[in-house]
Structure 1
Amino acid sequence: MQAKIPQSYLPDEAEHPDLVHAVPEVHYPETINAATELVDRHVTEGRGDNVAIHFKSEKITYSELQEQINRLGNALLELGVEPGDRVVVRFTNRPEAIVSCLATQKIGAVPLPSMKLLRAKELTYIINDAEATAAVVYDDLLDEIEAAHDDLETLEEIIVAERNGIGHDFHSYNDLINDTSPELSRHETHRGDPALMLYTSGTTGKSKGTFHTHRQLLATADTYARYCIEPTEDDVFGGNPPLPFAYGYGDLVTFPLRFGASTSLVENASPQTLLETIENHGITVFCSIPTAYNQILSKHPNGPEKYDVSSLRLGVSAGEPLTPHTFEQIKQEYGIEILDGIGTTEMLHIFVSHRHTDEIDPTATGFPVPGYECRIVDPDTGEDLPRGTPGLLAVRGPTGMTYWNRPDKQTEAVDDGWSLPGDIFVQREDGRFEYKSRHDDLIISSGYNIPGPEVEAILEEHEAVSEVAVIGSPHEQRGQIVKAVIVPNDEISVDSGLIDELQNSVKKTLAPYKYPREIEFVDKLPRTETGKIQRIKLREQEQDHAENPV
């Protein structure tokens, strides 16, 4: 039985990306269910006593996780949730979030994880756009659902996980699972049925819905994780990416559970709680974003001495470019290398990276992940560009860009079967791909193309700089000028001398036309919930200032 999805909401065949299955591990049977592959298979094969989830002092085995999934799956069925229905899952990084997503998948429905900081207006848009019929919600995050409730057009059932004593008039998570059977047969999902729905984090405008199939979900583990990380049952994956972030869902759900390993969840992560959790849970593969790595380094300079981090074997980073400076500092202080990677919500996970066995060059993102192909094309003509020439990245593999009910975006995102994530890269002579910028973030000043992240990497090395975003600011003569928006480190004196020093550091390292002609110091940068800098907001501010000068 095919999932109940409105066909008009899915891309036409002509606009669908070509899916290529170039490695044997992604050749799945026609009938397969991601939840049973990630949990039930391990119980059947004798790994039921392995720890699946570490959360605070709690340990949940695969057998215990299977029972919780089965009970919630039965509860959803009893409430009328059908195959193909979208189910909102709204939690912090807690075990119930994983249980809810996998229970939804096991019965053939489609989980839609929700970022915890979304407000009622945003939730209304997403839930109505997805036409979700049910929601499983952490009581501490119920208020915005309640505020949106009267405007939700399709939502019929709300289940509340009561953990903080917050009153409500909806179904009780605990009551439901206590009253249902611990036995549940999987729904016979087709490998091409939707298994996960995510919404983009809005760094470049309004959030857009994307969906991924059972086959694609498993393929992220059987390409990137299998070949680049090489997990074993002994690994413990941990870190702070939110589960509703495609990167976080892969790192903390799909990857560890695919290989019978463990995941470590931190509900409200800070640099200190992350270091404590590495020690307490024995994290081996630490997954985060560059900002968090930098915060750990700056706020806990004695981290490796104060905390036992000897379990670590590898770091993973995505969401923003990882600078060589951060890579080298982590390697020196924590004794691990970080695999930087490029991935998108639409592609589901990382498709360009080094492998952990490679000689890692921190000035490049890496090679196409096994199972993927990458090209650099002219943004205007679509023609292949020679190595060494910057251009638009085009990708093909077992995942591809598929939007929910957005034919306009689908047409832009796929060209002749190749997905266009919107990033400017150079392919070097050695085959590595070097990130330059988002296509939207390319600064054009006096005819020169200047990638903002290239300038950011130089400024970040300066001791006065805590965080930095480089954007194009409107300029009457040059079209745009390079502007750096900087959060200074504590106790730094901001004056004209520091501005000159920062400008000169760029001039000495890069072509002189790339230096920031304007520098602004701020208390913080606008970020999405996943930690990405919202450069679009900074550009909008600059445009507004240009049009409405004080």
Structure 2
Amino acid sequence: MGPNLVHALPELHYPEHVNVVTELVDRHVSEGRGDNVAIRFEDEEMTYAELQRQVNRLGNGLVNLGVEPGDRVVVRFTNRPEAIVSCLAAQKIGAVALPSMKLLRAAELVHIINNAEASTVVVYDALLDEIDEALPRTDTVENVVVVERNGVEHDHTDYDELTAGTDDDLDAHQTTRDDLALMLYTSGTTGEPKGATHTHRQVLATADSYARYCLNPTEDDVFGGNPPLPFAYGYGDLVTMPLRFGATTSLVENASPGDLLQAVEDHGITIICSIPTAYNQILQKYPDGPEEYDTSSLRMAISAGEPLTPSTFNKFKDSYGVEIYDGIGTTEMLHIFVSHREGQDIDPGATGYPVPGYECKVIDPDTGEELPRGEAGLLAVRGPTGISYWNRPEKQENALVDGWSLPGDIYIHREDGRLEYKAREDDLIISSGYNIPGPEVEAVLQELDEVSEVAVVGAPDEERGQVVKAFVILADGFDASDELTESLQNHVKNTLAPYKYPRRVEYVDELPRTETGKIQRVKLRERERQRQEA
């Protein structure tokens, strides 16, 4: 049983037959915007007309290889133009694009390829080694197409040779709005990666709900940032949303904070998209960033993937003169469904309001009943996208209640209508009967100059069941000490209910993260469990 999808906005009423590439690329060319810049990468520019030509050539090449409508096509790249071309080419011929995170190892690729029954892999040669290691254990792969840019030797089909011999014209396959266009696999931090499926109209809906109403984009905007394209957040920000509005996407292959600031200057980024960790790194490593780089093109920033703390919001606004629009989205829901809208007063202590086109409520996790305003519970969401897993019926059943999708987050629906994030469902710390949201404690510790990054989890404790433990990366110029620990603890005691303070503090050099930059608190909890057992 799938989610109960609703299409409350007129923009979401798509015709029965629609192909996402017709809407993202072909429409702009036919309506006279072919000379608009679609992609900026390093010092190169690709117009919409050239993007259409490259998509058509690769699409024809894939058809010549025997790729059929409905086939899953793995696309494995860093953030490069060929990644966008490959996803769009697959979708235009009616196949399903399956972007792959660049850091996945062979064993993970084997699981994903076999689970999705992928027929084709299009891969950047710098990432070919893990594909070659995985291939003997895959069951369905018939074609491997390699984009050769680094001289890596291979015996697969060459991307450039394949596209050089094909036609510039290609009619989009007559896909229906409910045909699959995109599959994204979860990062697998709590088990095997799960394939989340998205149809042509669901991909378009992320732009026609969130982007259209919260960002107000125009063809003059330049979207840029460092989320990987296989990350649902990155795919939306750097593919769907800019191309939907005839705008430009700025790609940076492996973006450090400095690379990101340089791209703002070089590409004229107006909407920067990243995660809280990256914004903190920009603030820490480039305290004079606005003087070192020309960031005057920026008009807004977007954050997702982790909770954005008020301190990060305020520091970035003070330094760069733009507000960060926090949002919550998931791989399964495809993009952001709770956010403030441009022009609204932002309360940095809340994620925001349901995005137009979505409904949200906070329910009792045991009964499924909606809770009164002000009470913490499980967030339930309904809208034009929903949780739909590929061939995982047991996970599918647990992800829904009465057709509403359950992303797995604890929220409070406030009296003012805003939704206030408390924790992931599995990040809630229960100590001596008190429910303590770890991110709430993190946000208070992040206020301090001494703290560069922090993660808070529940550590096993015989007396209290769990105690609050903070893993702290110190800012430059500060050293760990008992006095500093006491200062951190007192700051939390003086800001929150005293029972929420971290009874244990450990100073670390780094925190475990997923490839998208999210802190893997599950690994920290497991580390603490093993310590107790030892």
Same fold (TM > 0.5)? yes
| Residue matched to 2:191 | 205
C-alpha deviation, 1:306, in angstroms: 0.9
Q: What's the % identity of the aligned pairs?
A: 70
C-alpha deviation, 1:490, in angstroms: 2.5
Q: Distance in 2 between matches of 1:206 and 1:541?
A: 19
Query: Contact 1:217 / 1:254 at 8 angstroms: preserved in 2?
Result: yes
Q: Distance in 2 between matches of 1:311 and 1:379?
A: 44
Q: 2:3 aligns with which of 17, 33, 42?
A: 17
Q: Distance in 2 between matches of 1:195 and 1:230?
A: 25
Structure 1 position 345 matched with structure 2 position 328: no
C-alpha deviation, 1:207, in angstroms: 1.2
| Residue matched to 2:43 | 57
TM-score, normalised to structure 1, is: 0.97
| Residue matched to 1:46 | 32
C-alpha deviation, 1:146, in angstroms: 0.7
C-alpha deviation, 1:206, in angstroms: 2.2
Q: 2:100 aligns with which of 90, 114, 124?
A: 114
Give runs of aligned pairs for residues 232-243 of structure 1, distance below 5 A.
232-243=218-229
C-alpha deviation, 1:466, in angstroms: 1.1
C-alpha deviation, 1:308, in angstroms: 0.6
C-alpha deviation, 1:205, in angstroms: 2.6
Give runs of aligned pairs for residues 144-543 of structure 1, distance below 5 A.
144-543=130-529
Q: Distance in 2 between matches of 1:447 and 1:529?
A: 34
Query: Contact 1:203 / 1:532 at 8 angstroms: preserved in 2?
Result: no
Q: Distance in 2 between matches of 1:489 and 1:300?
A: 13
Letter in 2 for 1:457: A
Query: Contact 1:445 / 1:480 at 8 angstroms: preserved in 2?
Result: yes
Deviation digits for residues 359-392 of structure 1, max 9, x if unmatched? 0110000000000000000011001100000000
C-alpha deviation, 1:501, in angstroms: 0.4
Q: Distance in 1 between matches of 2:477 and 2:44?
A: 40
C-alpha deviation, 1:462, in angstroms: 1.2
Runs of 4+ aligned structure 1 residues displaced above 3 Å come to none
Q: Secondary structure of 2:476's match? A: coil
Q: Distance in 2 between matches of 1:30 and 1:414?
A: 26
Deviation digits for residues 222-265 of structure 1, max 9, x if unmatched? 00000000100000000000000000000000000000000000
Q: Distance in 1 between matches of 2:338 and 2:192?
A: 26
| Residue matched to 1:134 | 120
C-alpha root-mean-square deviation of aligned residues, in Å?
0.6
Query: Contact 1:368 / 1:374 at 8 angstroms: preserved in 2?
Result: yes
Q: Distance in 2 between matches of 1:63 and 1:167?
A: 32
Q: Distance in 1 between matches of 2:41 and 2:211?
A: 22
Q: Secondary structure of 1:41's match? A: helix
C-alpha deviation, 1:16, in angstroms: 0.9
Q: Secondary structure of 2:480's match? A: coil
Q: Distance in 2 between matches of 1:39 and 1:366?
A: 32
| Residue matched to 1:8 | none
Q: 2:57 aligns with which of 66, 71, 74?
A: 71
Letter in 2 for 1:327: F
With 511-520 and 198-207 compared, the bigger mean Cα shift is at 198-207
> Structure 1: where are the runs of 5+ without partners?
1-14
Structure 1 position 30 matched with structure 2 position 16: yes
Q: Distance in 1 between matches of 2:528 and 2:70?
A: 44
Query: Contact 1:17 / 1:414 at 8 angstroms: preserved in 2?
Result: yes
Q: Secondary structure of 2:233's match? A: helix
Q: Secondary structure of 2:46's match? A: strand
C-alpha deviation, 1:204, in angstroms: 2.5
Query: Contact 1:203 / 1:535 at 8 angstroms: preserved in 2?
Result: no
Q: Distance in 1 between matches of 2:373 and 2:333?
A: 24
Q: Distance in 2 between matches of 1:151 and 1:464?
A: 49
